[in-house]
Amino acid sequence: MLASPKFVSRPSLRTFSMVRSLLPLTALLLGSAFLLFAGGVNSLILPIRGEAEGFSAASLGLLGTGWAIGYVLGCLRTPALVARVGHIRAFGAMCAIAAIAVLLSLVLMTPWVWIPVRGLSGFCFAGAAMIVESWLNERADASSRGRIFGIYTMVNLAATTAGQMVLTLGDARGFFFFVLAAMVYCLALLPTAISATTTPRPLTQVSLNLRGLWKNSPIAFFAVLMVGISNASFGTLAAVYGARVGLSLNDIALFASIPILAGAAMQIPVGIASDKFDRRKVLLGIAVFALVADALFLFTGASHPVFVLALAALFGATVFAMYPVIVAHANDHAEPGTFIQVSGGLLLVYGIGSIAGPTIAGFAMTSYGAASLFAVTGFAHILLILFALWRLKTAPAVVAEKKGAFQAAPLARASTPETAALSADQAELDAHSPAAPAQPVTNEETEAPQD
């Protein structure tokens, strides 16, 4: 008697289809993982080593300012560079220059070299990330775009955290971690250099239309500026604060990594709440909890490692969950086809805040002590709260039918305009294509700013 045929179940077919669709993307995801890993090592070793070398908090804060300037310029200038020399050459150059910048920081150990070199790193990091994301965007179709964006976000989060945590395995006073970061930057260019992936379309370009972004949503504009000040201050100087309150190297690495993980986890409940309630009220609530964390850091004299790490988790769960709420609220008001322009523009405004924040916080820490870092972040959160309360009283909420779905986002400091393109749906991409230029970031139906 013949055996009955065996049929592959639908879940098995879906799993096989997903694995097959991801195989061509492996090189791109691996290159991105190397890039973010090296960036995680580099971003933490500099303030730790600079503090050990006796650099002032002001000079270490300027490292964050240099990075932010380079990052914004990289987002603006990379599309033209890629159009001139191609994706593979541009990506290879970015990775190689980033590796050279790390080694320069080791060879010339002075803040006046580190600051411009850090700006160069920011430029290269932004450019390399944009190129990887453009490749992923080219490979993603309407059915797989959300899945690819989710996997890309998780890979980057894991790689950044691993890069920071690897510092627990050695001595920050030697040369090992500088060389390691440079080597991994070089490794990042290999997967794409030997990949058979086709060259993608030109990179996404956005302009810094401040007036248009303000007209679209004043609260999104102001909030993302304050979040840039707060998050960049902490991201740049968290290791300096940890060292000055007596944390060990292991605890400093945790102090820098736990907030990122807490912010990523918090995006799930925050997303549910922002889809159900007025996003401005959700943002206001998050900012209030962030201010509580600021006050606890500032007034309790936190120094015990367990208490400091617990506060870091609270701080990260709030400050790193704000950015996607802001973007979602701004896009609730955006005209159809302007999602990429609005999201990319907000990212550049975030970059402006990132330029100012570390400088202010660095000089405050030099003059008034380590805890003044949280006086700066707290002041930014107070201004955000006051502005949000004013807009709640003066502008109506978005009706439920016009609200888009909340979408989790990677860290703003690791996002580019191409990230917005990767997370966009096909209709938005079609509207932003060269055949159908994106509309300006304004709302023509009313003269009053939206909220």
Averaged pLDDT, groups of 10, the chain, 451 residues long: 48 53 70 89 92 91 92 87 83 90 92 92 88 75 68 84 88 88 90 66 69 83 93 92 89 91 86 82 92 92 83 92 84 68 82 92 92 94 94 73 60 69 58 48 44 64
Q: How far is CA 14 from CA 21, 23, 26, 145, 289, in A?
A: 10, 14, 18, 16, 42
Report the phi/psi class of residue 182: left, alpha or beta, with left for phi > 0 and alpha for psi in -120 to 50: alpha
Calculate Rg over the CA atoms of the chain.
22
pLDDT at 206: 67
pLDDT at 338: 65
pLDDT at 69: 93
pTM of the model: 0.84
Separation between Cα atoms, residue 237 and residue 253, nearest integer Å: 12
Structure token pair of residue 268: 């799930």
Separation between Cα atoms, residue 191 and residue 27, nearest integer Å: 5
Separation between Cα atoms, residue 145 and residue 138, nearest integer Å: 10
Separation between Cα atoms, residue 217 and residue 451, nearest integer Å: 5
Q: What is the DSSP string of 208-241?
A: --HHHHHHH-HHHHHHHHHHHHHHHHHHHHHHHH
DSSP character at residue 437? P
Give the domain 25-432 fold: Growth Hormone; Chain: A; (1.20.1250)
Structure token pair of residue 368: 């008034």
